[in-house]
Chain A
Amino acid sequence: MKGTDIVVKGLSKSYNSVNGEESLEVLDDIYLHIKQGEFISILGPSGCGKSTLLNILAGFESGDNGVATCCKEKIEGVSTQRAVVFQSPVLFPWLSVRKNVMFGLKQKKMDDGARQKIVDKYLKAVGISKFENYYPGQLSGGMQQRVALARVLVLDPNILLMDEPFAALDAQSRLSMQELLLNLWQKHKPTVIFVTHDVEEALFLSDKVFIMSGRPGRIKKEIEVTFRRPRNISIIGTPEFSELKKHILSTLMDIY
């Protein structure tokens, strides 16, 4: 599919306040232009509306004002072309790991042998093959999150919306998942929108970093990340990397 740019213009969103008083403004006048195949990260303080923004891009919710478009069409409702890795794993607890990963493929008409092959491939890729017969309740949080990733990767989506997907992982598996994600991205070139609190992770992975202000969330700054690809962790030690990290951190600091 060509021209799967994501364009957001003047998007705002409020929630009815839980106390029944004035409404809670969460997103304010958001502008975004994400080109097809781009890997972008979103950084911002907790509660600034990052998950809300992803929910709108996924089609789970709609904004109050402004538009969010994908492939030149207004985003209305959910599409399998926009895969979501939620902030919590949200696996189906009554299905084994294997069947969870199979879920999306089961919704499509296709040869079962082909299905099994794809599932095997991604179970292996996220390093969870050994646990394919476990149920989600029997896995650790980090393992569940890997299953959640494999579950959408099998669908080979054009757009990946990821909400702090690796936050629950230990340092080594986080790094290996980041490398896995970069490899997949290099091969299939999906558009990736990656929410994280980890500045190094954002820099290591993305072409561009969007920094949001505190609630109501706005895009405060857009920073190009131009490190040469393919990247490996050695860039984390370089002076350019530290410089950029410092810059981002200071932008994040004077958010209020």
Chain B
Amino acid sequence: MLNLKKINLLGFLIPAIVFTFWYIVTMGGMVPPYLVPSPSTLLLVSIDFAIGNLNITPYSGTLFTHAYASITRVLYGFAIATVLGLTLGFLTGRSMLAKDTFDPTVHLIRIIPGIGWLPIAIVWFGVGETTTLFLISLAAFFPIYVNAAQGASSVSPLLIRAGKMLGANNISLYTTVIIPAAMPSTIAGLRLGLGVSWGFLVLGELTGVASGLGALMMDARMLGHVDIILVSMICIGILGRVSDILLMSSFKRSGLLIEGDKNEGN
């Protein structure tokens, strides 16, 4: 108990120091507000950004529109990556033929950094929506694919024997043994993929879409609203964390991830 409290308090130590420092430098006017706004300004701007009660920025009350646009893009991009990544990953993980066919090409493409796809994506899909989706699904695909394949291929042959011996047929062997056994690694891949999705969302949106938190940051930069840039960054951070927690809790509820599993580590 005591130990737990100590750890929790320690976690707040660095944020507290940073916050105090931030407060002092902005109060004393050591740093001009167009570079770093004071904590109180930021708080007011955030509230106004969310509910539009003060009208202190041009972005007043638009948080939910932008957040909604971004969340939708991440969901679509991540969904595409998940479907492709899991299917292909499990296929190559369980079949040598599929592995020899797909794996070399996938890894060849994987070497090209995700950001490196931006120019060609713009050429192909134009600036905006499709490019963003393309970048998200491309970047999230690789961690999902690699981890699913790794999980599927390293299912202990003894577990498969046990499943067969207890009467699992070819199909139920997949649903009752192979997929659950591959879960820890697969979930790790999905988490990484989801994290990457938020990153590439911002990249795609920076290139110019009408709404979305990334677009907002770019717009706010041009209008000199550093406070809105910071609030957008915080929003993306919170959304990323919340989506991760939702992903994990949905796995826990479905029973695919056992409580106290080694792979949990929040």
Contact = CB atoms under 8 A, between A and B. Distances in A.
Interface of A: 58, 60, 78, 80, 82-84, 86, 88, 90-95, 103-104, 106-108, 135, 151-152, 155
Nearest to B262: A137
Contacts of A152: 165-166
Contacts, number: 58
Interface residue SS majority, chain B: helix
A83 B159 contact: no
Contacts of A84: 161-162, 165
A80 to B, nearest CB: 4
A135 B166 contact: no
B15 interface: no
Contacts of B167: 80, 104, 107-108, 155
B181 interface: yes
A93 B258 CA distance: 9
B180 interface: yes
Interface residue SS majority, chain A: loop
A106 B255 CA distance: 16
The 6 closest A-B pairs by CB, nearest first: A107-B167, A104-B166, A78-B164, A80-B167, A94-B180, A90-B158
A135 B258 CA distance: 8
A58 B165 contact: yes
Nearest to B156: A90
B172 interface: yes
Interface string B253-266: 00110100000000
Nearest to B157: A60
- B156, B158, B162, B168 — most chain A CB neighbours (10 Å): B162
Contacts of A155: 166-167
Contacts of A82: 165
B250 interface: no
Contacts of A103: 163, 166, 176
B206 interface: no
